[in-house]
Amino acid sequence: MRLLITNDDGIEAQGIITLTRAVARWIEDAAPGEEREAIVVAPMINHSGMSSAVGDVFSQPSIKYQRHHFEGAENIPTYALDATPALCTIIGALGSMGPRPELILSGINAGANIGRSVLHSGTIGAILTGAQLGLSGLAVSVQWGEDPQFDLAAEIAIDVLEQMSHAPERTLLNLNVPNKTRSELLGIRRGHISTAGIVKSAAPADGAPLGESGELPLRLGPATPELGDVSDEAYFDDGALLVAGYASLTPLRGVHEDTEPSMEAIIHRSLEAVELQLKANR
């Protein structure tokens, strides 16, 4: 299996360093004749919350890069790009920095990626981008807190990674690990995406009407790195599982064409209506 490791916290973040070291040990433990390779292509700086954005590549059609070295993972080529996680994924997936990967390993993010935040996360945006290129992906995050348990999250990620070698292409999994020690962790469960959001409201604190300019204070929801109140979630929702002390593993689907019959009917009616207008205006 050939891996592309990336993240959205930047090349110097402890999460990606810990994950890469775990992958280096995984490579060393390969059975004779088993192919295991990895390369790191990650952003130079923090790009959290960038989802699958690639930036304005049209006005700036080149990318700066710099070689890095992670102690304890010297056998893994490592590059920092002046690019978002999604663009790092594209560059790595094209084989620009080394062999073309089969799977994107993104993280370890410092902060949970649960609920509606999966849409906005750069960590998850990287694997969604990989899926558009036919690759599978595993996004890994650990709940924010004092002394985040990156080592435990990396160990769990490697276990999941080995199972993904037998999965169909474009398999996407989102792994969230609570900030617990190994002895405190209750286990791992299949998590469901909750309705938890990042922003609950944006309004002037005093309720005054909007002027010509100003600032809108944001009231944050539970889907934040610290993970707020999830008491209204079902026990199997991703945030509730983390608070209860379980790791959460959730399958995702990337952007794909909607071929449901109900949608096809809407499309055909829309096409017919537009065609009639076009003919009437000729």
CA distances from 178 to 54, 58, 138, 145, 187 (A): 30, 40, 17, 9, 10
Q: What is the pTM of this model?
A: 0.90
Helix, strand, coil % in the chain, rounded to nearest 5: 30, 20, 50
Q: Are 1 and 35 in contact (CB under 8 A)?
A: yes
What pLDDT is stored for residue 57 in this prediction? 84
- The CATH number given to 2-192+229-252 is 3.40.1210.10
Contacts of 83 (CB under 8 A, 6+ apart): 43, 44, 54, 55, 63, 91
Alpha carbons 243 and 246: distance in angstroms, whole number: 7
Which regions of the chain are under pLDDT 50?
Answer: none
What pLDDT is stored for residue 221 in this prediction? 65
For the chain, give every domain's residue range: 2-192+229-252
What pLDDT is stored for residue 55 in this prediction? 86
Q: Which of 17, 146, 136 is nearest to 69 (CA)?
A: 17
CA distances from 239 to 128, 159, 244, 281 (A): 21, 22, 9, 54
What pLDDT is stored for residue 222 in this prediction? 65
